[in-house]
Structures are given as C-alpha cells and as structure tokens.
C-alpha cells in the first residue's frame, strides 16, 4: 500500500494554518485515501487504520475523526454529492424545462468524464454497502430522491412551457430516467470496456424526448 504524497511544507513566510484549516486538509487527504482504497480493494476490505496510514497520518486518526467506517463513507458521499450538485447547477444555470433536462444530462456526461475514478469509487461504495449498512442505505435513498425531484421539476417546467406533453407524469418520467441511469452505471462498473456510457445515455435521452416532447417544439439531439 503506497502512501499518498505528504503535504508540502509551508515556507517560513507563509501564515500559520488555523486548527480548522489543518482539520480540513487532513479530512480531505483521508477522504482521498478512502476513495483510493475502495477502488483498490472494495469497501469491505478497507479499514479506518489503513485510511489513516495511506493519508500519511496516524493509524487512529480516521477512527478518531469519523468514528466508524460507515460515517467516513457517508462523508465521502456528501462531498461527492456536493461536487456533483455544484457542477450540474453551473451547467444547467437558469435553464428550465426541456433545456434544463438536456443540460442536466450533459452535466452527467461531463462529470463522468472528468471524475471517472471518483464515480467508480462512489458507486462501488453504494452497491457494496446498500444491503449491510443502514447509514449508507439512507444516504443512497436520499440521493435517489434528490435526483428524482430535480428531473421531475424540469419535466413540470416543460409541461408549463408547452415543450412537453400535458399528459406526461413528471414523477414517472423521473423514475424512468433515474432507473436507466443507475442501471447503466451498474453495467459500466462491471464492464467499462464494453459499455459506452456516453452514447447510451444520450440515446436514452433522445428516445425519452421523442416520447414526452411536443412534436412541434422538440429538436432531438443525436450524440
């Protein structure tokens, strides 16, 4: 197990870090170490002791800071979700309705391309712990619900803007889209060399828009 590179030493002229800043740095390094270990050996074979060591700290720091492996993983998920939400919000911006749905789809692709290792670690974590950890199961349920709400909101806006058919049920579309997405991720984790994630998600997006969109208002984008 190779340790992460130690943080560079500050020069004598640099201002001294506060306790909060030092804590934030050590937390970040331990979360980075946890992600690396999950990728290397999975969640069940990752220990708090190894997380502390790989991050370059004492064996007991991760346990002292997070309390349990579940809480460490929960914090990793929180950081991941905040990063994803920030990047998605930046791309969606002020768009609404069908345009927002399209932009959100593109934001997933961009995030996957820019953070593939992080994505892999997170979903390995989700799928390996959902049956054994109440904490992780609750966090995953919250995440799924948040994604469904976002998609349902875009669809509702599209109905109001008359770019989406009035007969469409936003909650059902949200469930269908997220079900496809999470199922696609599962297949990609198992066989990344075969599953063409980007084209598959774009194809599903185009097919869904053809079904739910008002014919005279929809312009399909084929990836």
- Which single residue is written with the structure tokens 């998609």? 151
Are residues 49 and 75 located together in one domain of the fold?
A: no
Tens of pLDDT, residues 49-107:
999 999 999 888 998 899 888 889 888 888 888 888 898 999 999 999 999 999 999 99
Contact 97, 163 (CB under 8 A): yes
Residue 223 confidence (pLDDT): 41
Q: Is the pLDDT of residue 8 over 60?
A: no
Domain assignment of residue 5, yes or no: no
For residues 141-169, give the mean pLDDT: 95
Domain assignment of residue 218, yes or no: no
CA distances from 143 to 59, 64, 65 (A): 31, 27, 24
Residue 47 burial (C-beta neighbours within 10 Å; 0-12, 13-18, 19+): middle
Helix, strand, coil percent content, the chain, rounded in steps of 5: 70, 0, 30
pTM: 0.79
Euclidean distance between CA atoms 140 and 127, whole angstroms: 9
Are residues 75 and 178 located together in one domain of the fold?
A: yes
Residue 131 confidence (pLDDT): 79
Tens of pLDDT, residues 23-52:
888 889 999 999 999 999 999 899 999 999
Domain assignment of residue 153, yes or no: yes
Q: Which of 67, 99, 124 is the last residue of a domain?
A: 67
Tokens in use for 142? 């919250």
Residue 222 confidence (pLDDT): 38
Confidence of residue 157 (pLDDT cuts 50, 70, 90): very high
Are residues 124 and 202 located together in one domain of the fold?
A: yes
Are residues 62 and 74 located together in one domain of the fold?
A: no
Euclidean distance between CA atoms 40 and 220, whole angstroms: 40
Q: By residue range, what is the domain housing residue 170?
A: 69-212
Euclidean distance between CA atoms 29 and 160, whole angstroms: 46
Euclidean distance between CA atoms 172 and 151, whole angstroms: 10
Identify the CATH number of the domain in which residue 41 sits: 1.10.10
Domain count, the chain: 2
- According to DSSP, residue 11 is labeled P
- Which single residue is written with the structure tokens 């345009």? 99
Residue 153 confidence (pLDDT): 97
Domain assignment of residue 219, yes or no: no
Are residues 203 and 98 located together in one domain of the fold?
A: yes
Tokens in use for 31? 């979360």
Euclidean distance between CA atoms 78 and 143, whole angstroms: 10
Are residues 60 and 73 located together in one domain of the fold?
A: no
Confidence of residue 9 (pLDDT cuts 50, 70, 90): low
Are residues 49 and 137 located together in one domain of the fold?
A: no
Domain assignment of residue 160, yes or no: yes
Are residues 119 and 157 located together in one domain of the fold?
A: yes
Mean pLDDT of the chain: 87
Domain assignment of residue 178, yes or no: yes
């Amino acid at each position: 197990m190779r340790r992460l590179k130690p943080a560079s030493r500050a020069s004598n002229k640099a201002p001294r870090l506060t306790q909060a800043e030092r804590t934030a740095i050590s937390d970040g390094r331990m979360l980075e170490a946890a992600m690396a270990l999950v990728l290397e050996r999975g969640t069940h074979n990752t220990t708090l002791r190894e997380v502390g060591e790989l991050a370059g700290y004492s064996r007991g720091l991760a346990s002292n800071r997070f309390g349990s492996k579940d809480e460490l993983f929960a914090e990793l998920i929180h950081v991941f979700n905040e990063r994803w939400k920030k990047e998605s919000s930046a791309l969606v911006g002020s768009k609404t309705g069908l345009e927002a749905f399209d932009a959100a789809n593109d934001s997933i692709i961009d995030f996957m391309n820019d953070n593939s290792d992080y994505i892999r670690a997170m979903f390995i974590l989700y799928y390996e712990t959902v049956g054994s950890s109440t904490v992780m199961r609750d966090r995953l349920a919250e995440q799924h619900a948040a994604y469904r709400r976002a998609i349902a909101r875009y669809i509702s806006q599209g109905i109001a803007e008359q770019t989406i058919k009035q007969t469409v049920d936003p909650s059902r579309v949200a469930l269908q889209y997220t079900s496809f997405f999470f199922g696609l991720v599962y297949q990609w984790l198992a066989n990344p060399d075969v599953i063409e994630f980007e084209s598959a998600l774009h194809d599903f997006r185009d097919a869904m828009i053809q079904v739910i969109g008002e014919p005279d208002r929809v312009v399909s984008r084929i990836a």
